[in-house]
Structure 1
Amino acid sequence: MIVTETKLKGCFIIEPKVFNDSRGYFLESFNQNTFEKKTGVSVNFVQDNESLSTKGVLRGLHYQKGDFAQAKLVRAVKGMVLDIVVDLRTDSPTYGEHVSVELSEENKKQLFVPRGFAHGFIVLSETALFSYKCDNFYNKASEGGIIYNDKNLNIDWKLNADDFIISEKDLQLPTLQMAKL
């Protein structure tokens, strides 16, 4: 496993070792001991989520607050997404900065998103099956979000905005400046 810390402290790109042969491939998508050794982060995943989306679907930018904050390990099992994380830790030197990473079934990269970050993605392929491991249970009362097109974040979503498919709920999200963190 190759682990690379992004410019956002505690946020890691993880590239598993892939064993290919005439039958296909095998990979270990998560190993707690290896993860902790390579990242220095102790995590206990308690919930797995999965979404299936079509090209142009933009989900995010979402986060959980307070006692229900979540760290996530995310990956595209099928297809390709542009994954975005935004540092919401007000005491962080990278507060308000973001990182984008292409996650796909081909590159098999994963992204570890620590607590205190907003997360979202847009589907770049015809469809994408996206998987999330979470270290805390979802709590509706603790959910928050940032509007995808916040001018101060200046995120390049790689697709034409006319082609975005966004839920009504996500279209109503506040800017980072107006969000209740």
Structure 2
Amino acid sequence: MIDGVKKKTLLKHHDDRGYFTELVRDDEDLLAQFGQMSLSMSYPGVIKAFHYHDKQDDVWFFPSGNAQVVLYDIRRTSSTYKQTDVYYMGENNPIVLLIPKGVAHGYRVLGEKPATIIYLTTHSYDKDNPDEKRIAWNDQRIAFNWQTEHH
């Protein structure tokens, strides 16, 4: 696992009305501080990758649909520099993932329905000075194969 990344497996409390689960709590050492919570929906097959932040950490959760999440450590001083991690998140694997600043991240929507992501950040978005750097989804330094392997 890339240094600083944290994964939380969710516990669902079921009854005859449905279920309840806690996503992020202030007493569990995921976010150092709270800045913003956002929601985004992407259509099947869409790839949103890569970007990273210098100041903010992200917490990602996919409440509907499924996604292949790819992280790439670009922090030169990290023990996991240039390491790639892949997580499968969404309805079929309900986890919360902390992505620390300096780790490039992106995702591909899997399956035949849209995926929705809820994400929390340690800082609010500043349109005049955005903390968001882009790397192409097919950048050769990362060289990630986004194709589904059919075995």
TM bucket, shorter chain: 0.7 to 0.9
1:17-38 CA deviation, whole Å, 9 max, x = no partner? 11122221110111121x22xx
Q: Tell whether the 8 Å contact from 2:31 to 2:57 is kept in structure 1 after alignment.
A: no
Aligned residues: 146
- How much is the aligned-residue C-alpha RMSD, in angstroms? 1.8
C-alpha distance in structure 2 between counterparts of 1:143 and 1:28, whole Å: 28
* 1:29 matched to 2:23: yes
Q: 1:116 to 1:20 in 2, by over 3 A?
A: same
Letter in 2 for 1:53: S
Shift of 1:143: 2.2
- Counterpart residue number, 2:119: 132
* 1:111 matched to 2:97: yes
Q: Which contiguous aligned blocks of 4+ residues in structure 1 show a shift greater than 4 angstroms? A: none
Unaligned runs of 5+ in 2: none
Letter in 2 for 1:117: V
More helix by share: 1
Q: Given the alignment, which residue of 73, 87, 94 partners 1:87? A: 73
1:1-181, aligned counterparts within 5 Å?
7-33=1-27, 35-36=28-29, 43-65=32-54, 69-125=55-111, 126-140=113-127, 141=129, 142-159=131-148
TM-score for the superposition, normalised by structure 1: 0.74
TM-score for the superposition, normalised by structure 2: 0.87
Identity %: 28
